[in-house]
Chain A
């Protein structure tokens, strides 16, 4: 760490002064960025953190001169090596863009042109800035090699869809590096990636800084990433900077009340564990050697399609009042597992037992039994509620199905709302009138309507801001203590899983590679994949605990 600090004598590369960006909306003018000032030195990584709507992305786009309409840079200075970029006309700015300053985007799936070869996309940024064809070609191969893409020559001839997400992000980085810019703006470059891939990309970015001396403006919502990567950090809230300084100082001893609350909300990998639930565990959900075939191809004329087991021999159980955390990266089969348990997917073999009753067969009677006992909470609070139905109607639907008499429905709805921390008079609102966190509360209320014994929570907090995330986790814990529901809590976020789980199962390629109490799995992982997952997770390690 100490190697990074002494940079006072380094030259200031980017000096943003009193930047104001406004958006004209029908509801009035919004100051998305409101008087932001910061400096970035050569070879430095500056993190800008904040929750959604804090203005961090708009700030980074303003530096690139690419604020989306109807956004306008109202005032302020953006000086790159002493030249105010705002004084340049469009053409002059275009000559700097991609040459002196470059950008990496959040979603590598969307950031590459699907109909252009990888090589051509890198070459383009060189050709635009005046290099000849042959140089561009050899340089692009060099870049592909530099960002760690194997076989650059063949890779250059491929199209983006032939690459994985992590590889695509490397290509995007190669494009950004093409003209050896002095400033690199990275807008949440690892948010769309799995943790193990994220760790690799962060490594790459760090190496680039060390080897090329490029300055990096790193926009993120993830405090863990900031702690791992950045030298200095700027905390934004509602378009303003509320705190800035060296990472260690801001994260360990935040002074601003918002930063303090933000740091409190971040689930720590070393926080005390949840107390174990009262003894006499009575298993309410048991899954035995379950396999699910997700090959949806129709049977060929001559051969049967090879089965693809997204879930391949999984056994687990969830008891009353207990949380089993299920961790894994995208594509490991955790969602298919949960969908098989509630009956959206069909089990190929194995058994599912609920409250002692085998429901693998799913007869018509089983279905009712299943939906009365197991409910589902979804990841995306925006798509899990029908936009055309009020919160009350959504709850009502759930209550009617379990046979609550019409006369009691309103009262039950009100009760459910209050239980999840909402007001009963919000029942008649449509989803658009609720925030993401509130919608997730409604989703939980709907799942609780049938008074199920088990809730399956599929990434219930991963779409939420960290402060909202903390609130929802607290709510879930309270509800569990109160109602004695068992949770199967699915997440890719180890810190979150650690926060809420009594026991943890790690899933990899359709199988559970490790299962144990939270303490066992986190403190003494036995499986190699678990260890890799743990070491990849950017942690707020001891250094930053207050």
Chain B
């Protein structure tokens, strides 16, 4: 009997997993690098907003509708509140929506798309439902949700989650369909591996790439849906700020204070652009063989 520890059962892997390698490459590409840095900076700003401006976003003063200056980077609004502070808090609202709605939509959509693997009938029904959702433009869907839930954070999250389902569902289903044709899936099945294991081990990992790319694309859409609904007054309600809600008020003062919308617009664009860059970079590396 030897006393040495049993050899590690987990086999060592020489060579990194192909998918991890590719995601790493995506972040190293110029686009991906710029994207991730901008996202991280914005996220940091929004997280630290309460620390930087502990008085909150509703500090009013008599200096209303000022143009940008060093004291008020983005100027002030109609109630004399600092728009920079409100924008940071608005960014926070946007991030909070993204962080909840996007992952939920991704996971739910993927599960719905994969249902077809277990039951053909259920798969068909799910597809029909997703087709119907797809028929609704994002905003119309949002309006329907607002109608039922009432305007605010919750209805935004629900609307965004639902509007993302068709795309994720389709990608998952497409991956499912193409993987079912692959010989290694047939191989696993002839070996006698169970359906669920095949799903988890062979199909899901191969569906993840396009779903991840779509996730990054969808963040941009989520930001836009929030902004659009808030602009027409059906999103985040005052006095709580969000990037869209700021634009909603800003457009009303566009002639008196054209600089009002500048700050929130720049932040919104930066955020959207950063995520599209990331999506582009991911897409490129993922599609490279």
With CB as the reference atom, state the residue of chain B lying closest to A385: B184
| Residue in A342, A384, A388, A410 whose beta carbon sits within 8 Å of that of B183 in the complex | A384
Contact across chains for B187 and A384 when beta carbons are under 8 A apart? yes
Number of residues on chain A facing chain B (CB within 8 A): 41
- What per-residue 1/0 map shows which CB atoms of B166-195 lie under 8 Å from chain A? 000000000000000011101111111100
Most buried by B among A378, A397, A407: A397
Q: Which of A403-437 contact B (CB under 8 A)?
A: 406-407, 410, 427-430, 432-433
Count A-B contacts at CB 8 Å: 82
Residues of B within 8 A of A367 (CB): 192
Contact across chains for A378 and B13 when beta carbons are under 8 A apart? no
CB-CB under 8 A for A388 and B188, given A401-B193, A410-B11, A428-B11 = no
| Residue in A398, A432, A433 whose beta carbon sits within 8 Å of that of B191 in the complex | A398
With CB as the reference atom, state the residue of chain A lying closest to B179: A386
Contact across chains for A383 and B183 when beta carbons are under 8 A apart? yes
Name the distance in Å between A523's Cβ and chain B's nearest Cβ: 35
Stretch at the interface among A116-124, A196-204, A368-376, A508-516: A368-376
Complex CA–CA separation, A427 to B14 (angstroms): 9
Complex CA–CA separation, A17 to B17 (angstroms): 45
Name the distance in Å between B7's Cβ and chain A's nearest Cβ: 8
Contact across chains for B11 and A392 when beta carbons are under 8 A apart? yes
Contact across chains for A375 and B191 when beta carbons are under 8 A apart? yes
Complex CA–CA separation, A397 to B189 (angstroms): 11
Cβ of B96 within 8 Å of any chain A Cβ, yes or no, is: no
Residues of A within 8 A of B182 (CB): 383-384, 386
Interface size class of B (residues with CB under 8 A): 20 to 34
Contact across chains for B13 and A397 when beta carbons are under 8 A apart? no
Cβ of A305 within 8 Å of any chain B Cβ, yes or no, is: no
Contact across chains for A397 and B186 when beta carbons are under 8 A apart? no
Contact across chains for A386 and B202 when beta carbons are under 8 A apart? yes
Considering the complex of A and B, which 4 residue pairs feature the smallest CB-CB distances, nearest first?
A371-B192, A384-B183, A378-B183, A386-B184
Name the distance in Å between A49's Cβ and chain B's nearest Cβ: 28
Contact across chains for B183 and A429 when beta carbons are under 8 A apart? no
| Residue in B19, B189, B193 whose beta carbon sits within 8 Å of that of A388 in the complex | B19
Complex CA–CA separation, A390 to B13 (angstroms): 8
Complex CA–CA separation, A389 to B188 (angstroms): 12
| Residue in A370, A388, A392, A429 whose beta carbon sits within 8 Å of that of B205 in the complex | A388
Name the distance in Å between A382's Cβ and chain B's nearest Cβ: 9
Complex CA–CA separation, A239 to B60 (angstroms): 77
Contacts beyond the supplied A367-B192, A387-B206, A406-B9: 20 A-B pairs with Cβ under 8 Å: A344-B190, A368-B192, A371-B191, A371-B192, A372-B192, A378-B187, A386-B182, A386-B184, A386-B201, A388-B18, A388-B205, A389-B202, A394-B184, A397-B193, A401-B191, A429-B15, A430-B18, A443-B187, A449-B191, A450-B191
